[in-house]
Amino acid sequence: MLKQLRNQIDEIDTKLLTLLNKRMEVVRKVGEFKNNTDAPIYRPEREKQIIERLSQLSKSQNGLLKKGDIEAIFLEIFSTSRNLERTERVAFLGPLGTFTHQAAESRFGATGRYLPLLNIEAVFKSVAFKECKYGVVPIENNTEGIVGVTLDSLRKYDVKIVNEIYMDIHHSFASLCENTTKIKRIYSHPQAYNQCKIFLEEHNLIDVEFIPTESTAKAAEMAKKDKESGAICSHIASKLYNVPLLFAKIEDNSANRTRFVVISDYKTDKSNNSKTSIIAKTSHKTGALFELLKEFKENNINLTKIESRPLKDDSFHSLFYIDFEGHIDDEKVKKIIDKDNITWLGSYVKGE
C-alpha cells in the first residue's frame, strides 16, 4: 500500500515538474520583454494577486493547502522566476543569518543574490547608487518602536518603498548537543539572551556560562565550533551554519513582531490594497499639523501611522512620517501630497 502511494506521489511530482518547466519558459519570454523595456522584475502587487487568487481557488476546491502554505510554495517559485528573468542583487542589514536576512529571503527566496551590509544607511546607499536593485531594512518593532535611522535614510536618499514585510520574531535554540544537560556555554547577542530568560530557567540553563556575541548569527557560528555549547539565534542562522535546532520558539514575548520594508528605484502599480508613506514638514505655528491631518479626514483617507522625527538642525522643529491607505495614483491622494512640504516615500501593497 505504501509503495503504491509513493508511486502516485512520484507521478504527480513528474507532472508538477513538467508544468513548472512550462511556467519557466513563459517567464523567460516575460524577462525578454521586460529587458527591452527596462521594467522591474519584482512586482509584489502582482505576486499578491496570484497568491490571493490561488488561495480562493484552493478554498473553493476544499483543498488542504491554506493561504500560508500557498504563499510559502509560490514565493520560492516567484524567486526562481525572477532569477530567470534577470539576476539582481538584494542588500540587507547583515550579517548573514539575521532576522533581516530572514525577511529578505522570505520575499527573494533561498536562491537570491544577497549582499549583507553592516548598517542600515549602507543598504540605502547601495540602492541609491545602483550597486543593488533592492534593499531590505527594518522600520519598526511592535515592542521597541520605530527605527529612526531608517526614517532618516528614507528622507535622505532617492529610493522608494516597494513592499513591506511583517514578520514574527522568534528566537530559537540550536546546539550540537542532543541534550541540554550537556551544554556548558551559551552564545548569543545580549538582547536576545535577555528576551529568553523564562526558557533558560525552565530548562536549567540560566546558570550556564553566557558568552555575548555581536549578533545572533555570530552565536550560531560559534556554536558550530563548540560541541558543548548552545546558541540563541534565528532559525535561518541555525540552517546557515548547520547547527541542529533543539527548540524553535523560546522568546518570553511570543507577540514580538517587526515590520521590514523593501526599497528600490521604481513605482509599484496600484492595487486594491495599497498603502502610501510620506514625510511631511509643517510650518512651526499653531494648528499646522491639524490642518495637514484635516485634509486626510476630508478626503476619507485612513491614517495607519504617524511618527514625529527631529529635523536635526538647531531649530528643534519636527518632521512627520505618515502611513495611510491608498496609492499615489489615486486622485484624492495626489491632491494631498502634491505639495512642496511633502516627500513621497512610496506606494506599495499593504503587508499582513
Tell me if domain 40-169+260-266 and domain 172-247 are identical in fold: yes
Q: Is pLDDT above 60 for 316?
A: no
* pLDDT band per the 50, 70, 90 thresholds, residue 123: very high
- pLDDT tens for each residue of 89-112: 999 998 888 889 989 988 888 778
Per CATH, domain 172-247 is 3.40.190.10: yes
For all residues of the chain together, what is the average pLDDT? 88
Q: What pLDDT is recorded for position 314? A: 52
Report the DSSP beta bridge partners of residue 82. none
> CA 84, CA 149: separation in Å to the nearest integer?
34
Q: Is the dihedral of CA 263, 269, 272, 277 positive or negative?
A: positive
Q: What is the pLDDT of residue 313?
A: 58
CATH node for 40-169+260-266: 3.40.190.10
How does pLDDT run across 148-179, given as a tens digit for each residue?
899 999 989 999 999 999 998 889 999 999 88
Other beta carbons within 10 angstroms of residue 24's beta carbon come to: 16
Q: What is the mean pLDDT of residues 47-53?
A: 90
49: exposed, middle or buried (C-beta count within 10 Å: 0-12, 13-18, 19+)? Answer: middle
Give the model confidence (pLDDT) of 55-85 as tens digits: 999 999 999 999 989 988 988 888 888 877 7
Other Cβ atoms closer than 10 A to 287: 10
Ramachandran quadrant class, 300 (left: phi over 0; alpha: psi -120 to 50; beta: rest): left
Give me the residue spans of the domains in the chain.
40-169+260-266, 172-247, 269-352
At the topology level, CATH places domain 269-352 in: Alpha-Beta Plaits (3.30.70)
pLDDT above 90 for 229: yes
